[in-house]
Structure 1
């Protein structure tokens, strides 16, 4: 066996043994099990992917898909999994009737997208050929709540854990599927008024499936038994002083860290507050008041005892907060803040003392993690929803216009490539084994 393959095999054996010690089912060979990759941070090392590509260049296969879904692909055992929605669209007259029946204010009618019904699916594609292996019908909703035009009914990314894949569609249901039999092991519905559709992705933590449930009507975090779907704990969010539920909702995905004191923490960003919870009990460890930010989408990132996060809509800011406190740490643990030019949708990247962001309107910026000082900014252009990836020393940025811009990482960053593909890029890609699995509004690509 060549040296590089031997090294990779040893890494996988060590990783599997570590997961076994932690009580995690390591049966799956899952190089990309969740939103933003194995660590949930968008960082990929020891991987060589093409610098340049297009619809035809450096494309192993391209598979067009019916339906709409902004969830990212996840991969295990040679199979790519994606959630998807098939929409039945209404006439204009039916659209207005649905909006009125939903209780939406008339002034917001033009801001929302409507479907008469939706079929929510789990798709399985063969990694080698791109062929569609299975379409698993999970549920039908008639009619679903209105959503934001930039959202989809299948935006939360599924998560793979051992033999199972967990699909979450917010208020429309949470499903545990056996990957081998394609059968539903359990499913639950946790009703919530999302306002503009579901967004938070599920997160596996040992025996628990963690869901952030920040709606307009109620805001809480819950942990379900991943084998049965029963509730282990449920913790309400801190009180908010927002005038309406619209400014209390959020769409973030949790991360787990171990702080410098050895305390495991679930970091669960929400409107107005960032909160850390004890994973086993859901008990609050610390909280920080970040202002009046709401509808938070970007997933936090963590490095060297500090969590970095965007504060969401209103006026997005970038905050750096130490994780070694207890109680309300707003006055004691905020390291620094950047008050403008921060994305409301793409998640940040943190690596080697630098933090990178791509703004919704195409301004890329880099900051020093020590003090928040700007290192550089670049006008990329376009609009952005997908989160960036750092692959070795390159940053890949996919725009809603289907343009993937590649920057060199570091303080002396330069733009080194632009790659156009067909369709919108709303989903963050998967990168592993020297390939990119890219989902657009029109197709799934294997780029290699």
Structure 2
């Protein structure tokens, strides 16, 4: 009746027996991995190193210098690594394609030029923050309102593009695309527009669009925003959840979170919350949807969802609510009934996913934007200062190792064939034994 797509548990993610040969060649097709939850499957986790040393070259397979800026996470398929970059002012936006084995740049393709990009109004985001998503026959590239395109994965040629999906992002785009069946689902939560839309992934044609029904509570008596942009802004990438035989899009926006019908875009349910700038995707445990509501005062909230969940369920379906000490930017991990998260300021926390009760917390240090990943019973965390911190899962905090790169990272890691692919501010690194 209720299951996470495509798998509900670690065991299912590791066994993974439904993958086709084409899917096997896509070890990291999404910013959060093949199962969209930060899990590295058993095949690709085999031999994954827990430490490295740049000075001595230990476990450094190669590094490739990068031009311009970008926070988009690398995605990997067919022996190639894909990600985006942009000039600091957003005037030009590229896609990179790098050979996963050698680090050779195969394509560095200019996709979009923008005459007058809106300033970012912050020093964290970039004009290349949404991540690509892969299929065996396509690379989908997204820069928010600046452009979306489908590329041929062999040639990097553009098969279709859209530049007419409008949204004043205010602090820049951040939401990545999601694939569901024949649809490419995009999220726009900006100052001027707040909506989800689905495109035909083969043609780029619009299939549906659903505007948020949120009461942002940000207008003065004359109908003007009290605080320009922020109170309507979010950066989140949705999750997909099967409920009662139908797939829902679980999407967290400013001031509210929603369940939508994935095929039609119809709003099914919502909860109201008090925050904005939501950035992490939802997690799923048993009959709970666990969300982070956004800004520095963010809550972590567990919502009970089943096929009877309809309308505004704020007052009826919230099962637990952690009001402080939560992850805001780094995506949490849900492992064996434990909910692991890392705060912006480098505190790792373990909760009971069913109750929200805190089991432990421990300081790992640094500022955290990149999302952690899970492999071989270990959680790999990455901070803006350049540290990779490995901790062990379980009922007590245990630090395993710490290694440092010469420059930091905000892009999340990717994994393929026992190797880590880490995008720092200056290079793409391949870390492997």
> So what's the TM-score if we normalise by structure 1?
0.87
Question: How many residue pairs were aligned?
Answer: 401
Number of the residue aligned with 2:19 = 15
Q: Secondary structure at the match of 2:37?
A: coil
Q: Does 2:31 align with 1:35?
A: yes
Residue 179 of structure 1, aligned match among 139, 153, 157: 153
Distance 1:162 1:85 in 2: 25
Q: Structure 1, residues 210-245: CA drift from partner, whole Å, max 9, x if none?
A: 011111111111101111111100001122233134
Distance 1:220 1:322 in 2: 24
Q: Secondary structure at the match of 1:312?
A: coil
Number of the residue aligned with 2:102 = 129
Distance 2:396 2:230 in 1: 41
Residue 204 of structure 1, aligned match among 176, 179, 183: 179
**What does residue range 407-426 of structure 1 map to in structure 2 within 5 Å?**
407-426=391-410
Supply the RMSD in Å over aligned alpha carbons: 1.6
Distance 1:349 1:342 in 2: 13
Q: Which structure is higher in helix share?
A: 1
| 1:62 and 1:444 in contact (8 A); partners too | yes
Distance 1:237 1:27 in 2: 34
Distance 2:148 2:15 in 1: 33
Number of the residue aligned with 2:8 = none
Distance 1:201 1:223 in 2: 13
Show structure 1 runs of 5+ residues with no match. Answer: 1-9, 18-25, 88-114
Number of the residue aligned with 1:76 = 77
Distance 1:357 1:309 in 2: 12
Q: Does 2:316 align with 1:332?
A: yes
Name the CA shift for 1:70/1:241 in 2 (closer, same or farther; >3 Å): closer
Q: Structure 1, residues 297-342: CA drift from partner, whole Å, max 9, x if none?
A: 1111112221111100151110111121122211221110100011
* Greater RCO (Cα-Cα under 8 Å, separation 6 or more): 2
Residue 207 of structure 2, aligned match among 228, 232, 235: 232
Name the CA shift for 1:84/1:28 in 2 (closer, same or farther; >3 Å): farther
Residue 114 of structure 2, aligned match among 120, 141, 147: 141
| 2:82 and 2:98 in contact (8 A); partners too | yes
Deviating beyond 6 angstroms after TM superposition, the runs of 4 or more aligned structure 1 residues are 10-13
Q: Does 2:58 align with 1:62?
A: no
Q: Secondary structure at the match of 2:19?
A: helix
Residue 272 of structure 1, aligned match among 228, 249, 255: 255
Show structure 2 runs of 5+ residues with no match. Answer: 1-13, 219-224
| 1:85 and 1:154 in contact (8 A); partners too | yes
Q: Does 2:270 align with 1:287?
A: yes
Number of the residue aligned with 1:157 = 131
